[in-house]
Amino acid sequence: MEILRYDIAILGSGIGGFTSAIHASHHSKGRLKIAVISKMHAMRSHSVSAEGGISGVLYHGKGDSESLHAYDTIKGSDYLADQDAVELLVRNAPKEIKFFEHIGVPWNRGDDAIIQQRAFGGMSIPRTVFAADKTGFFMMRALYDYTLQLKNVDIFHENFATAILMNKGRAAGIFMIDLATREMKLIEAKSIIIATGGFSKIYGFTTTSHSTTGDGIALAYRAGISLKDMEFVQFHPTGLIPSGILITEAARGEGGYLRNSDGRRFMEDYAKSHMELAPRDIISRAIMTEIGKGKGVLHSESGLEHVWLDLRHLDKAKIDERLPMIKDITIKMLGIDPSKEQIPVRPVAHFTMGGINTDIDGHAMLNGKRHADGIWAVGECGCVSVHGANRLGSNSLSQCSVWGRIVGIEAAKNAMSARSNDAKALHMQAEEEEMRITELLDRKTGSDPYEIRKELNHLMDSLVYVYRKTNELKKARKGIERLRKECDSIVVNDKSSVFNTNLRDALETSNLVELAAVVVEGALKRKESRGAHAMVEYPKRDDKRWLKHTVAVKKGSRGISISYSPVKITKWQPEERKY
Ligand SMILES: Cc1cc2nc3c(=O)[nH]c(=O)nc-3n(C[C@H](O)[C@H](O)[C@H](O)COP(=O)(O)OP(=O)(O)OC[C@H]3O[C@@H](n4cnc5c(N)ncnc54)[C@H](O)[C@@H]3O)c2cc1C
């Protein structure tokens, strides 16, 4: 085992990870040694696929304000967002958009050279800044280029982390496998930032990349860190049939319509004033209600029912300028030119609102009250509670950027003052982890990780989708429990040392199964419908009993202890959502 020493270890190189690396480096004036770890080449991080844009108030003269952005976000969250965190988000998002401008992101501009903003769901006014429909790619390219110039930051591409190591409740190190060689490594660090993205891959029908397996969340959970609001998984209304590839909300922001099998714009029955630009939870429920009423269209090849996204009335030049990737995707995947034909879409797992329980500074919590010293979470893996029960589109990239700066600075301050860890205890923990991986590789027979993952995806797609029922959730829980047992005897058939993707897949599968169990447990307990969690038996939001966050802590090898923590309300009292 190789041992490497850094001041800060950042697990993840998406927009959250890279932003925090840059700000940690700036804050320490280049003095701290920083490691950024990614299980694939950093530029393949999931953030590159973000399409529609990043939210922030740029122009006050046009009727927009931070207060309106906060209100939209809180109402969109179905009042589960922590309002102090939302206020922090909207106050700082404009500064971060300018920061990205300065490091080279080519934001779309009008003929007057002013940065343009497009409409997004649940936002009262166009406030989403964009770079065509490839926003994430341009942001990642700028971040990567910038980070490469920082002499104190080392990037570990294609290193897979298997454990976060703590010493007496304090950050100590990260254990990882170099995928190119299978060499095992320990990175010692005084500060750890977890930035490993979401876990939508618990579903088969999802917009997210193969890498979105919630590893960092599962590692934190096993290390004793609590998770928050895991039952809230966002279903984006427009997943392309049958692949699940995202058709960005920008398509509706630019004027696209949703139609049922009668050709009717059914959103007027569900959100008369916002229509196709209502929040995602409301549109996804509406689509599934239409399908339930027999107003869906059957896609014979996949057996899935869908509705139509209609862009035919949009100016062709507008599609070419603002939605080039969507056009490319529909032509390549289905042979559909969106200016001539409608696009078949249905709700698809897209974003995970829940994740590592943090305070407003992104500092991870061991349980409801105690911090995990020296550990922060940022981006989709962290639940700082700005999205609550339903994220508004384009708020994730602002969250990654705003908290990237916050946690980068906090982690740097900690690393500059913290004492060194007990090396002996840490090395013993690392040796145990090395033994666990070696035993896994030595196992000759056992459960097939691909079968486990296939079954998990089937359970989640069929039983834990847009509308949930108690008996179906119980069925899912039972199935997941069985899969968790199978994970104990998972086998890696490929014994090679070079790019052993079979080993990586087995470890990711165990992480997914562990997290799915927490999702289902939280969903079963929450007896109301709020945002992305819609229960057939409890169709209404119930603020009296359920205006609270779900907090999950791992108990023993398979137990899940659920408790609740209050939602922070500053100015906006919960009210009925009308769009
Ligand atoms: C198709 C699509 C389009 C989207 N468009 C938008 C949009 O327009 N606007 C918006 O606000 N949001 C959008 N989102 C959401 C947004 O893209 C994500 O929430 C955000 O990019 C997540 O960034 P992140 O930094 O948290 O993590 P990611 O970009 O997911 O990066 C995770 C990092 O962690 C690393 N990692 C994970 N596990 C391990 C491990 N075990 N060992 C080592 N490294 C590990 C990965 O290698 C990677 O570097 C979109 C989502 C999808 C699916």
CA 399 to ligand 1: nearest atom? 11
571-578: long-range contacts, CB 8 A cutoff, minimum separation 24? 571/70, 571/83, 572/70, 572/71, 572/74, 572/75, 572/79, 572/83, 574/79, 574/543, 574/547, 575/79, 577/75, 577/78, 577/282, 578/273
Which residue in 120, 119, 21, 109 sits closest to 400, CA to CA? 21
Provide the phi-psi class of 388: left if phi over 0, else alpha when psi is between -120 and 50, else beta.
left
pLDDT in tens, 171-228: 999 999 999 999 999 999 999 999 999 999 999 999 999 999 999 999 999 999 999 9
Q: Give me the pLDDT at residue 368, please.
A: 62
pTM score: 0.97
3-state DSSP assignment of residue 409: helix
Q: What would the mean pLDDT of 470-499 be, rounded to a whole number?
A: 97
Distances from the Cα of 165 to the Cαs of 361, 510, 514, in angstroms? 21, 18, 18
pLDDT digits (tens, 9 = 90+) for 126-156: 999 999 989 999 999 999 999 999 999 999 9
pLDDT, one tens digit per residue, over 67-92 is 999 999 999 999 999 999 999 999 99
**Ranked by mean pLDDT, which of 113-127, 146-160, 310-324 comes out on top?**
146-160
| CATH 3.90.700.10 residue spans of the chain | 238-347
401: Cβ below 6 Å to ligand 1? no
Q: Is the CB–ligand 1 distance for residue 235 below 6 Å?
A: no
With bands split at pLDDT 50, 70 and 90, how would you rate the model's confidence at 62? confident
Cα distances (Å, whole numbers) of residue 432 to 62, 187, 227, 553: 59, 15, 25, 23
Q: Looking at the chain, which residues constitute the CATH 3.50.50.60 domain(s)? A: 2-232+351-425
In this prediction, residue 104 has a pLDDT band, given cuts at 50, 70 and 90, of very high
Above pLDDT 90, what percent of the chain?
Answer: 92
Question: Is the CB of residue 374 less than 8 Å from the CB of residue 170?
Answer: yes
Average pLDDT over residues 532-553: 98
* CATH architecture of the region 238-347: Alpha-Beta Complex (3.90)
Residues facing residue 153 across a β-bridge = 34
* Cβ of 362 below 6 Å from ligand 1: no
pLDDT of residue 80: 98
> Across residues 370-390, what is the average pLDDT?
97
Residue 167 gets which letter from DSSP?
E
pLDDT at residue number 422: 85
> With 90 as the cut, is the pLDDT of residue 348 above it?
yes
Ligand 1 centroid from CA 46, angstroms: 4
Residue span(s) of the chain under CATH 1.20.58.100 come to: 432-562
Exposure b/e, 23-40, CB count within 10 A at least 16 = b: bbbebbeeebbbbbbbbb
CATH number, domain 432-562: 1.20.58.100
pLDDT band at residue 43 under the 50/70/90 scheme: very high
Choose, from 69, 252, 322, 405, the residue flagged as catalytic. Answer: 252
> What is the structure's pLDDT at 367?
77
The pLDDT of residue 168 is 86
Tens of pLDDT, residues 234-267: 999 999 999 999 999 889 989 999 999 999 999 9
Catalytic residue flag (residue 236): yes
> What does the alpha-carbon distance between residue 385 and residue 523 come to, in Å, rounded to a whole number?
17
The label of the residue with tokens 């190789």 reads 2
549 is annotated as an active-site residue: no
State if residue 53 touches ligand 1 by the CB under 6 angstroms criterion. Answer: yes
Instruction: Give the mean model confidence (pLDDT) for residues 365-375.
Output: 88
CA distance 408 to 5: 18
Do residues 197 and 142 touch, judged by C-beta distance below 8 A? no
CATH fold for domain 2-232+351-425: FAD/NAD(P)-binding domain (3.50.50)
pLDDT at 236: 97
Which residue among 23, 73, 177, 196 has the greatest number of ligand 1 atoms within 8 angstroms of its CB, and so is best to mutate? Answer: 196
Name the average pLDDT for the chain: 96
Q: Cα of 256 to ligand 1 centre, how many Å?
A: 26
- Going by their DSSP bridges, the two strands 355-357 and 227-228 should be labelled as antiparallel
pLDDT tier, 557 (very low <50, low <70, confident <90, very high otherwise): confident
Ligand 1 centroid–CA 263 distance in Å is 35
Provide the pairing of β-strand 54-55 with 343-352: unpaired
Q: CA–CA separation, 423 vs 30, rounded Å? A: 25
pLDDT of residue 138: 97
Q: Which residue has the tokens 């919590």?
A: 365
Q: Per-residue pLDDT tens for 428-463?
A: 999 999 999 999 999 999 999 999 999 999 999 999
CB-based contacts of 309, cutoff 8 Å, min separation 6: 238, 247, 251, 252, 256, 257, 258, 342, 343, 344, 345
DSSP label at residue 229: -
